[in-house]
Structure 1
Amino acid sequence: MYRTVKDGVMCKLKTAERVGITSDTWTSVAKESYMSVTAHYIDELWNLVSYVLQTTEVQTDHRSVSLAEMLTKAMEEWGLLSKDPAIVTDNAANMIRAVEITGLTHVGCVAHIINLASQAGLKLLNVARLLGRVRHIAKFFHRSTTATRILKEKQKLNAHKLKIDVVTRWNSALEMLERFLEQQPAISAALLSPEDVVRALKPMKTATQVMSEEKCPTLSVIAPLHALLLKEMTSLPEDSRVVKDMKDELKKNLSTRYVNQKDMLYVASAIDPRFKALPFLNEEERDRTFSRLQTEAQDAAADEVDGVEEEVEPQPPAPKQFKQSSALESLLGEAYRPQQEVGPQKTKAAEAEDEIKRYRARRPAGLQDNPLIWWRENEKEYPLLARMAKRYLCVPGTSITSERVFSTAGDIITAKRSCLTPGHVNELLFLQKNLSIPE
């Protein structure tokens, strides 16, 4: 069954113009280390297709050279090196370096970047002290049945229990504060109010939820979302000292991200009909972004023409056969037969420039619209740009797809099934993720 489904997936991947790859490493309950690899591309009908390709045991160390060899081997096995893959990983130094060694395009997972920035803000002294107080109260009510009973008597009907945060998940701290605020009248605790901290972190939570989507392209969302978060993290005069320090720390952390990838992210946003106005850039940056898009579009078109000329030698068109339906046509047909109009042929550069002008002049799509559906409906009007859309919008903005494999693996590799071989783990995960995909 595994071989049959794998052959089917490989055949479908051959039709992809470009693929986006996500990869991450994890450790099973049996203390075995694995690397997962997923692939994403846009098919002929402008559907975003995703596959879990493999879950391979990391038999050596986790150094970047070893991980780079595993990534390269996976790309070769699935025939993806010719698809100009872009790899999305978390921001671990060994993963970043591993992708650099392969020479492929790397995109940092925006959800992981939001996590790192939020963790930096939560480590500020006053914020950490606040979290410690709320955590201490939550633990007290979790331990004491008597206190819990009294709290329930003072709570509203169907009130939720207090939550305790998890150090590795920044959003759990936000959820703990939100739940504490919900129950604060019942707790009646004299603490520094966490309302401002909750308000400061709210945009980060919303951004994480947006980037967790899989059915809609997310690479194009990174640039406008990053600009919005930088704006939201600008401190205001009415902010308290704690909130001001927290916003400054978050903004400082976010400002260091995507410095070397901004040109690619700007082009990805420009090719998305929702964000093509690029309001987060100045006029000079917008023009430069579309100039780059125009250059890439005409180069891709020229490469395609060159490839066709190398493979198939052009043949002169066969003369059209006309029916001798009348004596008049038989006598005068050759002289008066309508000739095919031949107008001046546009160069690829001119075609790309014309498409860019018409595309920019058109009204942007709504934020609720799916950009793939928009391109499916307008592919014939902008053929060169449509090809660029497939190249950029197939790349996910996060490595969440790989991380979701870990959750599924946790249901497969349990304490009672900890002796599964790595080969069977790979096949089970592959089938679980890919077998139900409709033809």
Structure 2
Amino acid sequence: MSKDFEVYDCLLSIERMLYSHTETNIVSFLKKAVVEFGLKGKITCVVTDNESNMVNAINQWDDVVHLPCAAYILQLSIYCAFKKQMFILSGLNVYFTDDDSDDNDNSTNELPMLDSTNSNQPILHKAIEWLSATLPLSDNAENRADGRKLKKRLLLPYEWDLLKQIVDLLEPFDDATTYFSKTFYATLSIIYPLIKIIISQNSPS
């Protein structure tokens, strides 16, 4: 850190740690690396994810403070927030998706009441739509089979719209994660106000 409290970062090494990843093995592995680079006695704080073995490993290290990675915490919060929704969506997917048998070639997954016409649908959507329409007409039997499977799995317009809404909703979290992953690492003084801003920006009111 400079005299102006700017953080300098430097990548010293990337090494694979062999199994098993117990607390004792982890802290021994890190201490060995510290000695190799002549940094013994100069490590005061270590930032890790919140896995119990990592936390306990650093807590075993005398005179070294453990600091949880704020970006990791943020990603976990997003995962927990969407856990229930993903369970519901997976159930809907099973309900609305037909099997891959040829008996259902004439079936459709369209939900007229939920359909929406959006001229701003992604190019990817248009490309997949084109493939699902042309592959079943191919002279190649394998291509025809692929086309039938693709058509059954093709997202509906309202599902593309929903994906865009989710991406827009998660953009502040993405920005915060990027910020926390750069040179100016998160501290306890900055994580809470930033989470408060994210909550206020996305609250129903």
What is the TM-score when the length of structure 2 is the normalising length?
0.57
The aligned residue for residue 128 of structure 1 is: 87
Q: 1:200 to 1:64 in 2, by over 3 A?
A: same
CA contact (8 A) 1:207 1:225 kept: no
Give the distance between the partners of 2:9 and 2:203, measured in 1 at CA: 43
Tell me how large the CA RMSD over aligned residues is: 4.3
Q: State the alpha-carbon separation in 1 of the partners of residues 16 and 61 from structure 2.
A: 18
2:186 to 198, 219, 225: 219
1:128/1:136 CA distance change after superposition, 3 Å: same
| Aligned twin of 1:62 | 21
Does the 8 Å contact 2:173/2:198 carry over to 1? Answer: no
Amino acid at match of 1:217: F
2:47–2:69 Cα contact (<8 Å) kept: yes
Residues 229 and 74 of structure 1: CA distance in aligned 2, closer, same or farther (over 3 Å): same
CA contact 2:50–2:69 (8 Å) conserved in 1: yes
Query: What letter is aligned with 1:224?
Result: I
Unaligned runs of 5+ in 1: 1-40, 148-153, 163-185, 239-439
Cα deviations by residue, 1:99-140 (Å, 9 ceiling, x for unpaired): 00012111111221111111111112x4532466579989x9
SS of alignment partner, residue 123 of structure 1: helix
Identity between Structure 1 and Structure 2 (%): 20
* 1:228 pairs with 2:194: yes
Does 1:86 find its partner at 2:50? no
Give the alignment of 1:38-187 within 5 angstroms.
Answer: 48-58=8-18, 61-103=20-62, 104-124=64-84, 126-130=85-89, 133=92, 159-161=123-125, 187=156
User: Over alpha carbons, which structure has the higher Rg?
Assistant: 1
User: TM-score by structure 1 length?
Assistant: 0.29
Alignment of 1:23-422 (within 5 A): 48-58=8-18, 61-103=20-62, 104-124=64-84, 126-130=85-89, 133=92, 159-161=123-125, 187-189=156-158, 198=167, 200-213=169-182, 216-220=183-187, 223-233=189-199, 236=203, 238=205
Distance in 1, matches of 2:16 and 2:158, equals 51
Consecutive unaligned residues in structure 2, runs of 5 or more: 100-104, 109-117, 127-154
Partner Cα distance (1:198, 1:72) in 2: 41
Q: 1:187 to 1:77 in 2, by over 3 A?
A: same
Check 1:188–1:224 CA distance in 2 against 1; reply closer, same or farther (3 A cut). Answer: same
CA distance in 1, matches of 2:42, 2:13: 15
1:190 offset after TM fit, Å? 7.9
What's the CA shift for 1:80? 1.5
CA contact (8 A) 1:90 1:112 kept: yes
Superposed CA deviations along residues 331-378 of structure 1, whole A, max 9, x for unmatched, are xxxxxxxxxxxxxxxxxxxxxxxxxxxxxxxxxxxxxxxxxxxxxxxx
Matched positions, count: 157
- C-alpha spacing 1:130/1:99, structure 2 compared with 1 (3 Å): same
What residue number does 2:129 align with? none
Distance 1:206 1:227 in 2: 15
The one-letter amino acid of 1:159's match is I
Q: Is the 8 A contact 1:86 1:105 kept in 2?
A: yes
Shift of 1:77: 2.2
> Is the Cα–Cα contact under 8 Å of residues 130 and 194 in structure 1 kept in the other structure?
no
Q: 1:112 to 1:75 in 2, by over 3 A?
A: same
C-alpha distance 132-72 of structure 1, shift in aligned 2 (>3 A): same
Asked if structure 2 preserves the Cα contact closer than 8 Å seen for 1:42 and 1:49, the reply is no
Deviations 1:128-166 (A, max 9, x none): 32466579989x9xxx9xx9xxxxxx976971359xxxx
Letter in 2 for 1:72: K
